[in-house]
Amino acid sequence: MRLEDKTVFITGAGSGIGQATSLRCAEEGAYVIATDVDEESAEETAAKVEDLDTGGAEAHRVDVTQADEFHAAVEAVHEDHGLDVMVNNAGTGHPPAVTEDINESMRDFVIDVNLKGVWNGCHAALPLMKEQGHGAIVNVGSLASVFGLPRNAAYSMTKGAVLNFTRAVAAEAGRDGVRANTVCPGFTDTPLVEQMLATSDDPEAAREKMEDGYPLGRLGEPEEIADAILFLASDEASWITGEGLLVDGGYRASGGG
């Protein structure tokens, strides 16, 4: 198994890509630390992992925007179980709007979750991974890491920054045995995308339009993104660092829709 005897810390594990990643890593033998700002959802994910009867799991409430809380959780997990993989998955979006209509409060919330959350996760994990001489960090970006998505300026700003931040971490931590990569999903069938579609006057038509932008003609599934995260977390990607892996159903190949 690809993650046997390894401990994987996952943020935003309560649903969507985070939950799928928790299950996928567990299937490959990992001990999963399922964290979410919604503790109940994290516990539900941990229970699903336990049902697999593989590596095991535990749940923690972690608000990724709170650096002290994040550090305390990571250090406690490291002391009890070690820390081999950090998956900074927690993220949020905002209702589609032109830049000038995005207020300061919404902008700052998106920055706090999407950007500071990834910073906090790396900031907590890096010294522990460097000291032990190994570790893999997988940050979850987006198509918006490489494309500026119209009516999603704040989201695009944060996800673009995540990719370049990951490259900086990879460049400075590689000689300490730590790899850092970003998975950049296209629109994936998750609660976050459902919430975004729900803001449309015609959610069904909006979904069809979204799907038409992909050569494969559909949105991604959380399990498909989880497979990419698993790959970058595993030793199969031992000579890959500083990369942004697009998992986008061919969106870039079609010139962006």
Note the pLDDT tens digit of each residue in 115-167.
999 999 999 999 999 999 999 999 999 999 999 999 999 999 999 999 999 99
Is 214 an annotated catalytic residue?
no
**Over 90: is that where the pLDDT of 206 sits?**
no
Spatial separation of the C-alpha atoms in residues 155 and 169, rounded to whole Å: 21
In three-state form (DSSP H/G/I as H, E/B as E, the rest C), the secondary structure along 6-17 is CEEEECCCCCHH
- The H or E element spanning position 179 is strand 178-185
Q: What is the mean pLDDT of residues 212-231?
A: 95
| Other CB atoms within 10 Å distance of the CB of residue 113 | 21
Instruction: Return the domain boundaries, the chain.
Output: 7-187+222-241
Amino acid at 254: S
Cα→Cα distances 141→93, 103, 150, Å: 12, 23, 17
DSSP code at position 31: E
Amino acid at 180: A
Q: Specify the residue for token string 């990719």.
A: 163
Q: What is the mean pLDDT of residues 223-250?
A: 98
Q: What is the mean pLDDT of residues 46-65?
A: 96
CB 182 within 8 A of CB 162: yes
Q: Provide φ and ψ at 93, rounded to 5°.
A: -125, -165
Q: Strands 85-88 and 244-247, how do they pair?
A: unpaired
Cα dihedral: 77, 124, 169, 224 (round 10): 50
**Over 60: is that where the pLDDT of 257 sits?**
no
The catalytic position among 31, 155, 214, 251 is 155
Q: Provide φ and ψ at 188, rounded to 5°.
A: -120, 145
Tokens of 251: 């969106």
Architecture, CATH, for domain 7-187+222-241: 3-Layer(aba) Sandwich (3.40)
CA 42 distance to own-chain centroid: 15
Spatial separation of the C-alpha atoms in residues 62 and 6, rounded to whole Å: 21
Q: Is pTM, for the whole model, over 0.75? A: yes
Spatial separation of the C-alpha atoms in residues 93 and 199, rounded to whole Å: 12
Which residues, including other chains, have CB under 8 Å from residue 160's CB and lie 6 or more apart?
Answer: 144, 145, 146, 148
Spatial separation of the C-alpha atoms in residues 145 and 130, rounded to whole Å: 27
